[in-house]
Amino acid sequence: MKRTILIMTSLLTLAGCVTNDMSDLQTYVQKTKATYKGTVKPLPEFTTHPPYAYDAQDIRDPFKPVVDIEVFSGPYRGPRPDENRPREPLEDFSLDSLRMVGTLAQKESEWILVKDPEGLLHRVSVGHYMGKNYGKVISISEEEVLLLELVSDKKGGWEEREAAIALSE
């Protein structure tokens, strides 16, 4: 009961606030229309062009590879990395991050000292592996170490290339 009385009182109060006089709104609209005379520019003229005939029979297809991929008839017989060989610590680093800092010799054995990016020194001789491309040490001297790397030829095979690390000061 109290709730109904409260709702009725609220509705009557709100009904008393409503007026149908909108003269102030109408004068504002007329004033605004008189002040701002807007113009709309006409749409631009569109010129039509003749259709273009694309003639590309004499050009290379952009969706075919530039180099012809050879299809091998049989198993690959070229060089390949030995996947069964345990990896050596210097194979975790790229060759450009390794520094040759010196050489060691004892009787008939020769080694080079290689510093990795973490600052550790490693003793390396012929036959050891270094770098991310399966680089095998093939010769060492007081000035440099020569490696034979195996890099992918992008055709499913591998090719050998020589690399070197010079003694750094």
When pLDDT is cut at 50, 70 and 90, the band that residue 67 belongs to is low
When pLDDT is cut at 50, 70 and 90, the band that residue 118 belongs to is very high
Strand intervals (E) in 15-134: 99-106, 109-115, 121-124, 129-130
When pLDDT is cut at 50, 70 and 90, the band that residue 138 belongs to is very high
Q: What is the pLDDT of residue 23?
A: 86
When pLDDT is cut at 50, 70 and 90, the band that residue 68 belongs to is low
Lowest mean pLDDT among 22-36, 53-67, 116-130, 155-169: 53-67
**Domain at 55-169, CATH class:** mainly beta
Q: What is the pLDDT of residue 136?
A: 92
Q: What is the pLDDT of residue 19?
A: 67
When pLDDT is cut at 50, 70 and 90, the band that residue 149 belongs to is very high
162, 147 Cβ separation under 8 angstroms: yes
Q: What is the pLDDT of residue 147?
A: 93
The model's pLDDT over 2-37, given as tens digits with 9 standing for 90+, comes to 889 888 888 777 766 666 778 888 899 888 888 887
Lowest mean pLDDT among 47-51, 94-98, 156-160: 156-160
Strand intervals (E) in the chain: 99-106, 109-115, 121-124, 129-130, 135-140, 144-152, 158-166
Mean pLDDT, range 61-75, rounded to an integer: 65
Mean pLDDT, range 137-148, rounded to an integer: 91
Measured CA to CA in angstroms, residue 50 lies from 47, 53, 146 at distances of: 10, 9, 64
Confidence check: pLDDT of 72 > 60: no
Whole-number percent of the chain with pLDDT over 70: 89
139: left (phi over 0), alpha (psi -120 to 50) or beta: beta
